[in-house]
Amino acid sequence: MAAVDTTRPATRTAQPLPQILARSVERVPTGWTSWVTTTDHKKIGIMYLVLTFAFFLLGGVEALLMRVQLAVPENSFLDPSTYNALFTMHGTTMVFLFVVPILAGFGNYVVPLMIGARDMAFPKLNALSFWLLAAGGLVFYASLFFNPVEVGWFAYAPLSTGAYSPSGGVDAWIFLIHLTGISSLVGAINFYATITNMRAPGMGWGRLPLFVWTILVYSILLILALPVLAGAATLLLTDRHFGTAFFDPSQGGDALLWQHLFWFFGHPEVYIMVLPAFGIISEVLPVFARKPIFGYKAIAAATVVIAFLGLLVWAHHMFATPSPDVVLAFFMISSFLISVPTGVKIFNWVATLWRGTIEFKTPLLFGVGFISLFLVGGITGVFLAVFPVNWQLTDTYFVVAHFHYVLVGGSVFAIFAGIYYWFPKITGRMLSESIGRWSFAIMYVGFTVTFLVQHSAGMEGMPRRVYEYPDVGNLALWNMISTIGSFMLGIGVLVTVWNVTRSLKKGAHAGPDPWKANTLEWFTESPPPANNFDTVPRIRSVEPMKDIRRQVERQSPVEAPRPQPAPEHTVTA
Amino acid sequence: MRPTARHPRPRALLFALLGALGVALLATSPASADLLSPEAGPTENAQKIDTLYWIVMAVAIPIFLGVEGALIYALVKFRARKGAVPAQIRGNTRLEIGWTVGAAVIVIVLAVVTFAFLPAIRNPPNSGPGGLDVQQAGLTSSPVVESGAGREPPVPPDGQALNIDVNGLQYVWRYTYPDGDDNPGNNVFAYEQMVVPTDTTVVLSIRAQDVIHSWWIPAMGGKFDAVPGYTNATWFKITEPGEWDGQCAELCGRNHANMVATVKAVPPAEFEAWLAGKRQEIDAANQAAAQQREQVEAGRPPTEPGG
């Protein structure tokens, strides 16, 4: 907080003023021990982001291998067991090792800064969360050298029981579930404790940034849903090794029990993966539209309602099972209901852009891409909720397209918005706008080319999880288009990887608040010092930085306007 | 980068995307209608599902166009310009209540429509006049060997349907036909290809022997999971001869992709001839097996009583 403008009159208030001028970026200690032993939420957050992004690239390579196999009918590039292992690892990696933990990574880095805290509530538990995640990933990927799991990320019993999958791959998967599960649980408790107890003075629940709202709800959902999965995975483990028969119908067990337990976790998991993405979008859009978020309370309330309803929709993954019609009807209606708060959020985001002055920076592009793609995933979700229609669409490429629109078009695009938005805060450097734009354009087109035609492939009768398909109808055409698109998507991701690596050294100095943003993380330096804040201002609205900038303007003499904060593109080197 | 090029570029990108989308839609519209909807063969349940799908589509398209249109309009119209001032609006309670209620009304309407369609999809009609008379043909019994929990096979109003037992096992579908007696051991069975009579209500009991499979012939309606320990059920009544392919739709192991199925509809007389032929085949095979057994037993010393 040292940069003092000498033209400014003596301070008329005890309120701290934001640092205005960009300075050179301070070197932080980078020895490997400083990372291994750290309990600093920012370092842990960075390690989360880097590790999970590495898993994202691994999962992406697995996806591309599958797309190569499916490019032409009756291909023999991969054998069935390799293909089954690939889609299992792809799904497991993307869910348990990428989307959920990278959101924890953003949460780790940003939440304490957003609420004006100096660290998380339990810094050592925070480090434990990260290392358990790393251990889970290690255990799971080590199975590559033995017998990788082949039963899908959902591991339906009885296929996953010892009689049909005797190899250790399923056990490695169960181990991953436990390790990443404990990691997420510990992390969720940490977030909950931090957000409820460590907010800046004046930051009531009505002034909590929307991203923090979503991380809070994410944590609650994790605490409610994960123990069910942990229990189910333990039952599976005892079925496999200790002679129990929870899922074996020939001994009085029940094969549908696994599905109920798995999806009781699995559907909240979808909202665990998408609600913080909503939060990122709710932070990014108002900043670049230069307009307050439209309907703050409605968006926060919709988050809570989605989480509540998200616990009541699990059996819509089971519409084709022999369940009574009344059960199917209940889960259709609950799934319909969840589309209402989700729709409200989309309307609110569009209304946020309405009558703003939209600056087309890369985070905004990804945010807008998110809205346009997530909308498609939301609408196809309504088709899937109509259970007689679901009987035709479920377990086909239509569903594959649907949830990739939600999880890639939704979560991943929001994650990229978050990367471009917070990279200046994390590193003190700007990412290149022009490379970012290219990355967005290639990813958007690549995504659409990959997944739009998969709806049609599914409706033509192509089921999921098949390593080959016959040359009937248009399947060969759809799959070739899809494969081409997937490589474009991959290139688009690599362009951002390149952007990140080059901007670490060459990026323009960001200064504390390059976007003129609304929330408190932009009050401190970029990157923030170890203690985050020397002083924490009193919070008077949901946009504390806007208040602070206004106050600075008010206190500045009109005849001598202050220099514009943050000369955004002063390229050094 | 030239500052003047900054704003037109995203707009150009958007228009290019829109154009590409439009061209793609135009190019695909002459193709089959199944490009945009599920398959629906000549059976009423599949056609009702298709109709229901199109009703949802009719609701979805205006919402899609409306929201994407508003989004694109906002991006073009409200991009940052010199002198433009962002409106500091924090919300509009009436508007927000309006679209919440509107969304709720839409999903309520969709739920009502679904319930209106459900009976015609779930409940089979009577066989047509040109169909097989199962009573006369002596195919009234149910071939289900063991009935688990789950869904009872539906019964048409006149109670006359051809009940076929569909059993999923790694990696083949086995069909057992009824034969009028209570012994399930002597019934006609077939693998992979299911032959059925046209204009006849065919009710399937679907089960699995090992892991979970899912019965799916796209043109014959939705898929129904075959879960060990449970019985699932569906039906179809095919109005014209033909052959329709499908395959297992639930991951069941390494050869999941090759667990295929075909439904072949033939006129009732042909069906009865096929059934009789199958029975002869099976009887001949049984006789051959019995002969072999006799030979084996004849070659052995007589068994000790009480041994």
User: What type of residue sits at position A248?
Assistant: D
* Contacts for B80 with CB less than 8 Å, ≥ 6 apart: A290, A357, A358, A359, A360, B7
Which residues touch B268 (CB under 8 Å, ≥6 apart)? Answer: B130, B131, B132, B133, B137, B197, B198, B199, B200
Question: With the C-alpha atoms ordered A70, A71, A72, A78, is the resulting torsion angle positive or negative?
Answer: negative
d(CA A400, CA A398) in angstroms, rounded, equals: 5
Residue pLDDT, tens place only, A523-554:
999 999 999 999 999 999 999 999 999 998 89
> Which CATH number is associated with domain B149-293?
2.60.40.420
- Confidence band (pLDDT; 50, 70, 90) for B18? low
Contact B261, B247 (CB under 8 A): yes
- Identify the closest residue of chain B to A386 by CA–CA distance: B114
pLDDT-derived band at B17 (thresholds 50, 70, 90) equals low
Rounded mean pLDDT, B41-61:
95
Lowest mean pLDDT among A6-20, A56-70, A256-270, A482-496: A6-20
Please give the span between the terminal C-alpha atoms of chain B, in angstroms, as a whole number: 98
Angle, vertex CA B25, rays to CA B23 and CA B27, nearest 5: 65
Question: Mean per-residue pLDDT for B133-156?
Answer: 81
Q: Which of A199, A267, A402, A429 does the annotation list as catalytic? A: A267
Helices (H) and strands (E) in chain A, counts: 17, 0
Tokens of B39: 């398959």
Determine, for residues A474 and B35 on separate chains, whether the beta-carbon distance falls below 8 Å: yes
* Average of per-residue pLDDT across B224-241: 95
| Interchain proximity A156–B251, CB inside 8 Å | yes
Q: Which residue of A has its CA nearest to B250?
A: A395
Residues A419-428 pLDDT 10s: 999 999 999 9
Domains annotated for chain A, with CATH where assigned, are 38-547 (1.20.210.10)
**pTM for this one?**
0.90
Q: Is B103 in contact with A344 (Cβ distance < 8 A)?
A: yes
Can you tell me the distance from the alpha carbon of A259 to that of A267, in angstroms, rounded to the nearest whole number? 11
Q: Which residues of B touch A339 (CB under 8 A)?
A: 103, 107
User: Is residue A458 within 8 Å of residue A421, measured between CB atoms?
Assistant: no
Q: For this structure, is A194 an active site residue?
A: no
pLDDT digits (tens, 9 = 90+) for B76-117: 999 999 888 998 889 999 999 999 999 999 999 999 999 999
Query: Residue B8: which pLDDT band, with cuts at 50, 70 and 90?
Result: very low
Quick check: A519 and A286 in contact, CB under 8 A?
no
* A472's tokens: 């009937």
For the question of residue A269 being annotated catalytic, the response is: yes
CB contact under 8 A, A387 and B114: yes
Residue A178 DSSP symbol: H
Number of Cβ within 10 Å of residue B125's Cβ equals: 15
- Is B27's pLDDT higher than 80? no
Q: Is A347 an 8 Å CB contact of chain B? A: yes
